[in-house]
Copies of this chain bind each other. A is one copy, B any other.
Amino acid sequence: MHAQQMADTHPGARGRANDALTRCIESCFDCAQACTSCADACLSERSVAELRQCIRLDLDCADVCIAAGAVATRRTANQDALLVQMLETCAGFCRLCAEECEKHARHHEHCRGLPGLRARLPSGGDGDRHYRPLARAVDVAPTS
List residues of A whose CB falls within 8 A of some B CB.
1-3, 5-7, 9-13, 25-26, 29-30, 32-34, 36-41, 43-46, 48-49, 52-53, 55-57, 59-60, 62-64, 66-67, 69-71, 73-77, 79, 82, 85-86, 89, 92-93, 96, 108-110, 112, 114-117
Contacts and interface: CB of A to CB of B under 8 A. Distances in A.
9 contacts: A2-B30, A2-B34, A56-B76, A57-B76, A59-B59, A60-B79, A64-B67, A79-B96, A82-B92
Copies of this chain, complex-wide, total 4
A4 B50 CA distance: 25
B29 A6 contact: no
Q: DSSP class of A's interface residues: helix, strand, loop or mixed?
A: helix
A115 B5 contact: yes
A22 to B, nearest CB: 10
Given A66-B63, A85-B92, A56 B29 contact: no
